Amino acid sequence: MKKRLLAFLLITSCLCGFLSPAFAEEGLGGPPSDEAVVSQVAPAPAPEPVADSAGTVTGGAADVVGVTAGAPTAEELASMGQSEPLAAKLADVVGHNRIAINMVWVMVCGFLVMFMQAGFAMAEGGFTRAKNAGHTMAMNFMIYGIGILGYWMCGFAIQMGGVGGIASLGGAGVLNSEFVVTLFGKDFGLFGTKGFFLSGTYDVAVYAIFLFQMVFMDTTATIPTGSMAERWTFKSFVVYGFFITALVYPLYANWVWGGGWLSQLGKNFALGHGHVDFAGSSVVHMTGGVAALAGAIVLGPRLGKYKADGTPNAIPGHHIPMAIVGCFILAFGWFGFNAGSTLAGGDFRLAVVATNTMLASAAGAFSAMAYMWVVYGKPDISMIANGFLAGLVAVTAPCAFVDSGAAVFIGAVGGILLCMSVFFVERVLKVDDPVGAISVHGVNGAWGVLALGLFADGTYGDGLNGVKGTVKGLLYGDSGQFMAQVIGTVTNIIFVFVVMYVFFKVLDKIVPLRVSPEMELEGLDQSEVGVTAYPEFNLTKTHR
Amino acid sequence: MKKIEAIIKPFMLEELKEAMNSIGVQGMTVSEVKGFGRQKGHTEVYRGAEYVVDFIPKVKVEIVVAAEMVDTVVNAIITSVKTGKIGDGKIFVMPVDSVCRIRTGETGKDAI
C-alpha cells in the first residue's frame, strides 16, 4: 500500500511537475491516503507550472496511478500507451472522473460549510437580546462578505500560497511559494506568498480549494461576534473582520495546513506526524475561541452583567427556538466541515468521519444536559445547545483518526468541559461571553486536538505530513504525536491571544470598540445599523 | 352598566369564553398583559445564573354588561377560571357612563 502510494506520488509529481526536486529526492512525503493534501515547500521549481483556468487539463491518466489496489502503475500506463492506445485513453477519462468526484465532493461540502454562517447568525442572534438582534445578525452577515474579500486579497495567499498541489483535486500545483526560515538546520515554513487576489493562480483546482478554505476561515471570523455581541461598534468590527481574515487565521492555518512549521514537526523533529488537525479544532475553532476571549476581555462585560459584588446576572437570550434551529444548521453544515476535509469523494474514510461527527454531537448534548440537570436542577436548553456544538468542535480534529467509542467519549467530555468552562469564564475570569463562544470553540478546540494526540488509533493517515505510517495517539504508543498536539495548542493560544489582544487594544485607541452606555441600554439596532429587528413589538423588559 | 375587568391566567381564556357564551354575554375585549401580585414574580436559572421574572404574562378580559348581570358574570368567571393556586388573578368591577355602537349610533343598553 505504502509503496504504491509513494510511486503514485512520485510519478504524479514528475508528470505534473508540481512538486519540488527536494521532495522527489527525499521520497518521504505522502498524503494521509491516496486522496489527501500534499503539503510541500517548493523552492523555485525549474518549470513554472501552468494554471488550468479552463479545467480542460486537470484530471487525467496520471490521476489513476495507485489509486486503488488494482490500479495500474505508472510503468504499466507508460508501456500500455504503445500496445493498447484505447486503454490509455480510457485511463485518461477514468482519471478525469476520479478528480471530478473529488471536486464535486469538495464543492458541495464547501457549500454546506458556507451555510453554517446562517447557523451562527441564528444561534448568536437567538442567544442575545431582542434590542440587539439587528446588530448581532448584521455582524454575522457582514463577516461573510468581509471575510471573502479579506481572504481573497491576502489571507488565501498567506495560508495556501506554498501548499504545493492538492493531489485529490489534480491541478497544476501553482501554489508553490512558501516563505521559509532555517533554524537549527531545519526549515520552518512561515507563510505562503503566491495567490494574493488569486493572481497567478487562475486554476480550477486552486479556485476549488479557495472556496473550501474560505468558508472554513469564515467560521473562525464569526466566532468572536458571539462573545463580543451586544456592545461592539460596527466600525471597529469591520476593521477586525479584515484583520483576522487576511492575517491572523491564515498564518496559523499555514503552519498546520499550508505546509508550515507545525505540520513539519514530525518530519523535522520526529514528533508523530507533526501537529495534526483533520478539520480544524485548532486551526478554525481554537483560533476563533481565543480571539473571542481576547476581544471579550478588551471590550468588558455588558452593562448589568455583573452585580456590584461581582456575581453574574443572567441575561436570557430572546429567541431560543431560533438559536436551536441555528445549532441544527451548524450540525448539518458540520458534515461538510469534517467529512469534506478528506478533500476527496473517493476517500471512503469520509463515512467514518461523518458518523464520528454525528456521535460526538449527541454525546456533547447529552453530557451537558446531564450536567445542568444534576447541578442546576433543570436541563438548560441553551447549555445543551452549547454542549452539542462543543461535541462537534471537539471531534473536528480527531474525527478521521478514531472509532465510534472514542468519538462518543470525546464528545461527552466536550459537553462537560463546556459547562465547567462557561462557569469558569463567567465567575472566575469575569469575562462576559453572551453565547458561550469561548468555551464552545476555544476550550473544546484545544480538547479536540489534544484528544487526537491521545486517541488516534493508527487506522488512518498513512504518510500524512510526509511521515511514514499511520497517525497514532499517546494511548496507541506515539507520545511524539501528543507532544506535537500540545505544541500546536500552546502555539495557537499564545500566538492568537497576544496578536488579537494587542490588536483590539490598539484598535480601541483609533476606532473605539465599545458603544456608548446610552446606546447600549437602548439597544444597538438603531444607533449602529439603523434598523430595529422587531419594530412592531413592544420590547418591555420584564425580568432582571 | 358596569365594566368587568378580569385578569386571568392566559391558558384559562378558552374556559372563560365558554362560560360567558353560556350565560349570554355578547362580547368581550381581550389583551395580553404582564404584571405581578402578592407572589412578586419568580426566580429562574439561565446558564447557571439566577434571574427574577418580575412581570408574569396574564390575559386581561374586559366585559361590559347591564348592572343586574354583574353577579352572574363574576360568578361565572370565578367558576370557569379558578384553579385554587397562586396567580389565579383578580376581577375588577367599575361603572360605565355610556356606551355607543359606532355603526348604528345606538346608545345605552342597546349598544352593549
Which residue, among B43, B53, B98, has the nearest Cα to A543 in the 3D structure?
A: B53
Q: Is residue B47 less than 8 Å (CB to CB) from chain A?
A: yes
Grid cell in block for residue A162: 506554498
**A97 φ, ψ to 5°?**
-65, -35
Query: Is A430 within 8 Å of A310 (Cβ atoms)?
Result: yes
Angle at CA of residue B109, ends B104 and B111, nearest 5°? 25
Interface list for B 57-96 with A (CB within 8 A) = none
The pLDDT-based confidence of A542 (bands split at 50, 70, 90) is low
The pLDDT mean for chain A works out to: 90
Question: How far is the alpha carbon of B48 from chain A, nearest alpha carbon, in Å?
Answer: 7
User: Of A28-32, A238-242, A490-494, which range is least confident?
Assistant: A28-32
pLDDT of A43 above 60: no
Residue of A nearest to B40 (CA): A543
For residues A65 and B97, what is the distance between their CA atoms, to the nearest angstrom? 96
Note the residue count of chain B.
Answer: 112
Which residue, among A50, A62, A52, has the nearest Cα to A18 in the 3D structure?
A: A50
**B53 φ, ψ to 5°?**
-90, 105
DSSP A271-298: -BTBS--SS-IIIIIIHHHHHHHHHHHH
Question: Cβ-count burial of A411 within 10 angstroms (0-12 exposed, 13-18 middle, 19+ buried)?
Answer: buried
| Contact between chains at A313 and B51 (C-beta distance less than 8 A) | yes
Average pLDDT over every residue of A55-60: 89
Query: Between A208 and A31, where is the model more confident?
Result: A208
Residue-wise pLDDT tens digits, A168-196: 998 788 999 999 999 888 899 999 999 99
Within 10 angstroms of residue A374's Cβ, the number of other Cβ atoms is 9
pLDDT of A4 above 50: no
* pLDDT on residue A541: 66
**A161 φ, ψ to 5°?**
-60, -20
Residue of B nearest to A375 (CA): B48
Query: Is A316 within 8 Å of A128 (Cβ atoms)?
Result: no
**A469 φ, ψ to 5°?**
90, 170
For residues A283 and A155, what is the distance between their CA atoms, to the nearest angstrom? 14
| Distance (Å) of CA B6 to CA A480, A482, B11, B32 | 73, 68, 14, 12
| Contact between chains at B49 and A422 (C-beta distance less than 8 A) | no
The SS3 call for residue A122 is: helix
Average pLDDT over every residue of A191-213: 95
| Chains A & B: contacts with CB separation below 8 Å | 54
Q: Is residue B31 less than 8 Å (CB to CB) from chain A?
A: no
Question: How far is the alpha carbon of B70 from chain A, nearest alpha carbon, in Å?
Answer: 33
Complex ipTM:
0.75
Average pLDDT over every residue of A288-305: 97
For residues A503 and A433, what is the distance between their CA atoms, to the nearest angstrom? 19
% of chain A with per-residue pLDDT over 70:
90
